[in-house]
């Protein structure tokens, strides 16, 4: 089995700093990069991807499709995928190692359930703890034969691919990974697959399926797809990842004197919660919505340092900022007054239990907070520096990056254990931080 990189290693010390200044771009969107490789691999003809994220998670997706016989060439962020149609996938002759990537795992479970061969997926210590039942249960309703630890709820999981039938399914949680898994299964299921979510999660899969020629319709929180084995290869231009931009946006919003322009960031509506929430906290952010490329809107974001204030953040407000919980906790840590975040239960089953992780990290640098069952209460310092100290990232890239930004607002700086995890979604993060920081 191909071994994934050890992302739990490495310590980085981030010194206290002033603001962030300049003009930057951030690496390509992680979610869109995964989907471009997946759809390119099951489409007919070449798919050319520009701006592909060279993060460990996305490299896991590429390796998975190479194992299934797809020709994929990569030169930095340029990727060529030579798809031979969904029926061109062949049985992998080894276990697929998804590394740290929940997206790779869940989307592949959906796709593989309807392919006529055997496959098995595993991942790193963090991924092997994450819940897969939410995907496996509806796939079984579609006729899938899946086994694994904990009755198919935990990796390693084996899939005995076979013919599926379309279903109508209301998901218990708003999850783009779950929705996308069922859509990919729906491609090779008899009839139509209809999915309704309690709230609308990110819709990159729907947008890209349409681009590749699928018969897919969205209305409100529901989406329906007719089965097809005829997707056509495309050119995909991947915008910058707003979830990566979020660290720089927050760092600049927090520190007076900052002025940072981030170019060509994806601003798809179900992803821009961080902009709305920072504005709600009093942040000065201007968005120049420029272009639409490959069905995804992108634009430039200008942020200036300001005084942030504590706010109430509820579940529906957090959904379009689901991956931004760690950095929002940092924004709250240095805001004026108390921030209460609720409805964040999903954060307990991400790459780490992000509620427990952020509570521990903020306490470690001297910021008062209380962990609640579904969120956090954070007492902001009102712009004053926190003490600083040492934190454990738990191998979670977003915890490591959030605490690197927090370090700028401390007296002593922060030692980040498990700093290698940033390579999961943002290779070059520490270098870019070094180039934009003032002082
Ligand atoms: C993702 C969906 C979200 C998000 C993850 C990427 C995707 O997960 O947290 O980082 O690409 O579909 P959930 O579907 O579990 O909410």
The verdict on 319 and 224 lying in the same domain is no
The verdict on 125 and 207 lying in the same domain is yes
The verdict on 202 and 348 lying in the same domain is no
The per-residue pLDDT for range 82-111, each reduced to its tens digit, is 999 999 999 999 999 999 999 999 999 999
- The residues that are catalytic are 323
pLDDT value, residue 289: 82
Query: Which residue shows structure tokens 């290693």?
Result: 9
Q: Would 6 be classed as within a structural domain? A: no
User: Can you give 40-64 as a three-state secondary structure string?
Assistant: HHHCEEEEEEECCCCCHHHHHHHHH
Q: Say whether pLDDT at 331 is over 80.
A: yes
Asked which of 192, 217, 237 is the last residue of a domain, the reply is 237
Q: How many folded domains does the chain comprise?
A: 2
Residues 6+ apart with CB under 8 A from 358: 325, 326, 329, 369, 376, 399, 402
What is the spatial distance between Cα 219 and Cα 222, in angstroms, rounded to a whole number? 5
> How many other CB atoms sit within 10 Å of the CB of residue 220?
8
Nearest ligand 1 atom to the CA of 178 is: 14
Asked which of 237, 266, 292 is the last residue of a domain, the reply is 237
Sign, CA dihedral 25-238-428-391, equals: positive
Domain range spanning residue 90? 30-237
What is the spatial distance between Cα 246 and Cα 36, in angstroms, rounded to a whole number? 22
pLDDT value, residue 4: 63
The verdict on 194 and 265 lying in the same domain is no
pLDDT value, residue 8: 72
- The tokens describing 144, both together, are 């899938």
Per-residue pLDDT band for 393 (boundaries 50, 70, 90) equals: very high
Pairing status of strand 312-313 against strand 235-237:
unpaired
What is the spatial distance between Cα 408 and Cα 401, in angstroms, rounded to a whole number? 12
Residue minimizing CA distance to atom 10 of ligand 1 = 323
Please report the beta strands in 118-167, taking only residues with DSSP state E, as ranges in sequence order.
Answer: 118-122, 145-148, 154-160, 164-165
Q: Is the Cβ atom of 323 under 6 angstroms away from ligand 1?
A: yes
> Measured in angstroms, how far is the CA atom of residue 176 from the centroid of ligand 1?
5
Q: Which domain CATH number covers 106?
A: 3.65.10.10
> Measured in angstroms, how far is the CA atom of residue 135 from the centroid of ligand 1?
13
The per-residue pLDDT for range 270-291, each reduced to its tens digit, is 999 999 999 999 999 999 988 8
Per-residue pLDDT band for 2 (boundaries 50, 70, 90) equals: low
Asked which of 216, 237, 258 is the last residue of a domain, the reply is 237
pLDDT value, residue 18: 86
Ligand 1 pocket mutation, candidates 31, 56, 61, 130, criterion most atoms within 8 A of CB: 31
Nearest ligand 1 atom to the CA of 107 is: 12
The verdict on 50 and 34 lying in the same domain is yes
Q: Is the Cβ atom of 177 under 6 angstroms away from ligand 1?
A: yes
Q: Would 158 be classed as within a structural domain? A: yes
The verdict on 278 and 373 lying in the same domain is yes
Q: Is the Cβ atom of 31 under 6 angstroms away from ligand 1?
A: yes
Per-residue pLDDT band for 1 (boundaries 50, 70, 90) equals: confident
> Measured in angstroms, how far is the CA atom of residue 330 from the centroid of ligand 1?
21
Residue minimizing CA distance to atom 9 of ligand 1 = 323
Q: Would 5 be classed as within a structural domain? A: no
The verdict on 16 and 40 lying in the same domain is no
The per-residue pLDDT for range 423-435, each reduced to its tens digit, is 999 999 999 999 9
Q: Would 4 be classed as within a structural domain? A: no
pLDDT value, residue 5: 67
Q: Would 2 be classed as within a structural domain? A: no
The verdict on 217 and 276 lying in the same domain is no
> Measured in angstroms, how far is the CA atom of residue 347 from the centroid of ligand 1?
11
The verdict on 38 and 15 lying in the same domain is no
The verdict on 150 and 270 lying in the same domain is no
The verdict on 134 and 266 lying in the same domain is no
Mean pLDDT, the chain, rounded, equals 97
The CA angle 21-429-335, to the nearest 5 degrees, is 55
Angstrom CA distances, 274 to 258, 267, 281, 307, 331, stand at 18, 11, 10, 16, 11
Q: Is the Cβ atom of 176 under 6 angstroms away from ligand 1?
A: yes
CB-based contact 425:29 (threshold 8 Å): no
Q: Is the Cβ atom of 175 under 6 angstroms away from ligand 1?
A: yes
How much of the chain, in percent, has pLDDT values that exceed 70? 99
The verdict on 211 and 324 lying in the same domain is no
Per-residue pLDDT band for 229 (boundaries 50, 70, 90) equals: confident
Radius of gyration from C-alpha coordinates of the chain: 21
């Amino acid at each position: 089995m191909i071994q994934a990189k050890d992302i739990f290693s490495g310590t980085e010390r981030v010194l206290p700093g002033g603001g962030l200044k300049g003009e930057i771009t951030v690496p390509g969107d992680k979610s869109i990069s995964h989907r471009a490789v997946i759809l390119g691999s099951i489409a007919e003809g070449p798919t050319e991807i520009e701006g592909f994220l060279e993060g460990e998670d996305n490299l896991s997706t590429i390796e998975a499709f190479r194992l299934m016989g797809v020709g994929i060439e990569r030169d930095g962020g340029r990727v060529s995928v030579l798809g031979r149609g969904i029926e061109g996938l062949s049985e992998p002759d080894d276990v697929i190692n998804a590394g740290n990537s929940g997206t790779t795992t869940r989307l592949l479970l959906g796709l593989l359930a309807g392919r006529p061969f055997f496959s098995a997926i595993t991942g790193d210590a963090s991924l092997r703890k994450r819940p897969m039942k939410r995907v496996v249960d509806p796939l079984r309703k579609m006729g899938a034969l899946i086994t694994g630890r904990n009755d198919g709820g935990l990796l390693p999981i084996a899939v005995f691919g076979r013919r599926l039938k379309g279903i109508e399914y209301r998901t218990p949680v708003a999850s783009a990974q779950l929705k996308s898994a069922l859509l990919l299964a729906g491609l090779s299921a008899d009839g139509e697959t209809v999915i309704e979510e309690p709230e609308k999660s990110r819709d990159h899969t729907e947008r890209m399926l349409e681009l590749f020629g699928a018969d897919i319709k969205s209305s409100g929180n529901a989406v329906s797809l007719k089965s097809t084995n005829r997707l056509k290869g495309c050119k995909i231009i991947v915008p910058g990842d707003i979830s990566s931009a979020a660290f720089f946006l927050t760092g600049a919003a927090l520190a007076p004197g900052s002025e940072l322009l981030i170019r060509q960031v994806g601003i798809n509506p179900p992803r821009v919660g961080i902009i709305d929430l920072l504005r709600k906290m009093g942040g000065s952010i201007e968005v120049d919505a420029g272009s639409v490329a490959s069905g995804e809107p992108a634009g430039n974001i200008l942020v200036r340092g300001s005084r942030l204030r504590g706010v109430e953040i509820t579940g529906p407000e957090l959904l379009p900022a689901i991956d931004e919980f760690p950095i929002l906790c940092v924004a709250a840590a240095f805001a004026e007054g108390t921030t209460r975040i609720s409805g964040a239960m999903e954060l307990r089953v991400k790459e780490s239990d992000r509620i427990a992780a952020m509570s521990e990290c903020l306490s470690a640098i001297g910021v008062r907070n209380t962990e609640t069952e579904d969120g956090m209460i954070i007492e902001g310092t009102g712009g004053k520096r926190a003490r600083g100290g040492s934190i454990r990232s738990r191998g979670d890239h977003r915890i490591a990056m959030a605490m690197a930004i927090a370090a700028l607002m401390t007296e002593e700086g922060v030692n980040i254990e498990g700093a290698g995890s940033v390579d999961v979604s943002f290779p070059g993060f520490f270098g870019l931080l070094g180039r934009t920081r003032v002082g």
